[in-house]
Structure 1
């Protein structure tokens, strides 16, 4: 058993992949918790695909592609907010429009600019190709984002649960919104290398949603979600190594399995447990009614 655990760690690419998977698992769960409580899980998917134009332009002009991705992703969130505040269009429709528009623009730019950007790696990730530089970049992003979450934890909770009240209290809601969108975009940029934009939304929402079914407080949701993210990332890498399957897909399938298990068996929210509790309550009511004396003859 010990040999089975140690063998993959003998390769540098596996050590880098597991390390970056742990960092992303923690970071995605923390940021994803804010998306879940705001009912905006689709925003992660929007930003993940909206970075494509920024990648194409940055690659063409020789700029850092991650900086281009950050700019494009941030712009997409402001476009969603602008459509929502200046029209009758609901936020889900705005996100769908921005998602499709930015994705189409990115594909068009890659074709027009004759970019040699590896679209397959961008869409599906290549965690086994992670370099030491990628690992350090992800570590810096994770430390910066998590530090901001810790420092502004109270303000973020207030904003996420009651934006109008937080504005009335004088909190800088626009600054908080920008910071949250920047954190989401940075998390997606960090995750692109491992699972790609197609599966990154699962990392953002899966562990957090699983924890949401099990606990009630946000800080517990973040902690438990981070644990689920780490378990899924490490387990997915070991499965990928020994079964020769795509790493990103293995990680996401484990996350999906965790969510399904919680959905069915959560003590308070599980589909099967709620049915069992409901059936038990009905039996107790029926038995107590049967034991009541018949007052007709009294």
Structure 2
């Protein structure tokens, strides 16, 4: 028993691990909340598109001497707006448009990065570096996460109806256009917050896995939010601990833990379905 307790408490002797754990768990909470709406809306590819599109914004913000958050958020919103404009004015499906826009912006970011002399390592942008987060960086991160989480929780009913049935939301008198772009803004904000923890490449997993795992376990939406949050917090906590003890990258360890929980939830759902069928047949 003491061995397991030491395994859990040992990392928190170090201040950088305390900051990393707080950042990872807080990021996991907001990603879990948003993942429920993305899964309901079928926007997994949109999250992937915006997460890749923020790279050129980060580089341009560095060149302009602005905070990384400003550039990443601006690029994410620009990507979402460009996708919506092209979809509305061209005979091309939305998933095709997103594939073209995000791959083009990601390629632009890579070209810019190769031409800019910077001390920032590319792997930290692509895969995150939560262990290197500073106290001021943590405060900025928590501010973004708190704002996004409050908005999501306050508007969860309207967002749920919009994601589930936009036509019904319009009939009910909800501002569908504002909800659409508001959700995109929340997605961009959440991706910016998650960059430090898991980076551009892996952020889409944190935005999809908790919601998908929770969807296998429950159907009521409020329970879906709670379950997704619990799954994400557990994954972030366990993944950060695992990365410390195996000396591995924190972001990939978190995502691997989420994937493992998804597989367990899938097995449980299949087993429950099989038992229900047997009871019904009996």
TM range (shorter): over 0.9
1:256-276 per-residue CA deviation (whole Å, 9 max, x = no partner) reads 00101111212xxx2x44345
> What is aligned with 2:180?
177
- Tell me the CA shift for residue 201 of structure 1: 0.7
> What is aligned with 1:224?
227
> What is aligned with 1:90?
93
How far apart, CA to CA, are the structure 2 residues paired with 1:236 and 1:194? Answer: 11
> What is aligned with 1:151?
154
The answer to which of 105-114 and 58-67 deviates more is 105-114
Q: Is structure 2 residue 273 aligned with structure 1 residue 274?
A: yes
How far apart, CA to CA, are the structure 1 residues paired with 2:60 and 2:153? Answer: 34
> What is aligned with 1:111?
114
- Tell me the CA shift for residue 103 of structure 1: 0.6
> What is aligned with 2:49?
46
Identify the match of residue 129 of structure 1 among 122, 129, 132. Answer: 132
How far apart, CA to CA, are the structure 2 residues paired with 1:98 and 1:28? Answer: 23
Gaps of 5+ in 1: 285-298
Q: RMSD of aligned C-alpha atoms?
A: 1.6
How far apart, CA to CA, are the structure 2 residues paired with 1:275 and 1:194? Answer: 38
Identify the match of residue 16 of structure 1 among 16, 19, 34. Answer: 19
How far apart, CA to CA, are the structure 2 residues paired with 1:264 and 1:54? Answer: 41
How far apart, CA to CA, are the structure 1 residues paired with 2:119 and 2:80? Answer: 27
The structure with the largest alpha-carbon Rg is 1
How far apart, CA to CA, are the structure 2 residues paired with 1:27 and 1:179? Answer: 15
Identify the match of residue 27 of structure 1 among 25, 30, 38. Answer: 30
Q: State the TM-score, normalized to the length of structure 1.
A: 0.88
> What is aligned with 1:289?
none
Identify the match of residue 247 of structure 2 among 238, 244, 264. Answer: 244
1:134-170 per-residue CA deviation (whole Å, 9 max, x = no partner) reads 2111211111111112222221122111212322333
Identify the match of residue 190 of structure 2 among 172, 179, 187. Answer: 187
The answer to which of 203-212 and 83-92 deviates more is 83-92
Map residues 190-229 of structure 1 onto 2, 5 A cutoff: 190-229=193-232
How far apart, CA to CA, are the structure 2 residues paired with 1:25 and 1:242? Answer: 20
Equivalent position SS for 1:75: helix
1:60 and 1:115 in contact (8 A); partners too: no
> What is aligned with 1:68?
71
How far apart, CA to CA, are the structure 2 residues paired with 1:263 and 1:82? Answer: 37
Gaps of 5+ in 2: none
The answer to which of 152-161 and 46-55 deviates more is 152-161
Q: State the TM-score, normalized to the length of structure 2.
A: 0.93
1:56 and 1:115 in contact (8 A); partners too: no
> What is aligned with 1:292?
none
> What is aligned with 1:120?
123
How far apart, CA to CA, are the structure 2 residues paired with 1:171 and 1:273? Answer: 38
How far apart, CA to CA, are the structure 2 residues paired with 1:167 and 1:118? Answer: 46
How far apart, CA to CA, are the structure 2 residues paired with 1:243 and 1:226? Answer: 25
- Tell me the CA shift for residue 88 of structure 1: 2.6
1:59 and 1:117 in contact (8 A); partners too: no
Identify the match of residue 258 of structure 2 among 255, 280, 285. Answer: 255
